[in-house]
Homo-oligomer: A and B are copies of this chain.
Amino acid sequence: MGVSIEDVAHRAGVSTATVSRALRNLPNVSAATRQRVLEVATELDYVITPIASRLASGRTNSIAVVAPFIGTWFFGEVLSGIERVLHREGLDLLLYAVPDERTQDDFFARMPLRRHVDGVVILTLSLSPDQQDVLRSLRVPVASVGDPLPESFSVGIDNETAAEIATNHLINLGHERIAMIGRGRSLAGRFTAPRQRRRGFERAMEDAGLDVPAVYDIDGEYSVPGGASAMAELLSLPEPPSAVFAQSDEMAAGAMQVMRRMGVQVPHDVSIVGFDDHELAEVLDLTTMAQPVAQRGEMAIEAVLTALAAGQVKTVAERELVHTRLVVRSSTAPR
Contact = CB atoms under 8 A, between A and B. Distances in A.
A221 interface: no
Contacts of A73: 73, 76
Interface string A60-83: 101000000111110111011001
A73 B283 CA distance: 15
A54 B55 CA distance: 9
Contacts of A55: 51-52, 55
A62 B93 CA distance: 12
Give the copy number: 2
A205 interface: no
Nearest to A106: B87
Interface in A262-290: 279-280, 282-285
Given A94-B94, A224-B283, A69 B60 contact: no
B97 A83 contact: yes
Interface residues of A, number: 52
A195 interface: no
A253 B73 CA distance: 15
Contact of A79 (B70, B139, B294): B70
Interface stretch (A14-22, A110-118, A122-130, A320-328): A110-118
A1 interface: yes
Nearest to A60: B51
Given A60-B51, A79-B70, A97-B83, A224 B280 contact: yes
Contacts of A75: 76
A244 to B, nearest CB: 15
A79 B72 CA distance: 11
Contacts of A115: 47, 49-51
Given A62-B94, A69-B80, 11 more contacts: A47-B111, A51-B55, A51-B116, A73-B73, A80-B97, A83-B96, A83-B97, A94-B94, A95-B95, A253-B283, A254-B283
Interface of A: 1, 47, 49-52, 54-55, 60, 62, 69-73, 75-77, 79-80, 83-84, 87, 90, 92-97, 103, 110-112, 114-116, 139, 224, 250, 253-254, 256-257, 260, 279-280, 282-285, 294
21 contacts: A47-B114, A49-B114, A51-B55, A51-B60, A70-B83, A71-B79, A72-B76, A73-B73, A73-B76, A75-B76, A76-B76, A80-B97, A83-B95, A83-B97, A93-B95, A224-B279, A224-B280, A253-B280, A257-B283, A280-B284, A284-B284
What 7 A-B pairs have minimum CB-CB distances, sorted nearest first?
A71-B80, A71-B76, A257-B283, A76-B76, A253-B283, A49-B115, A93-B95
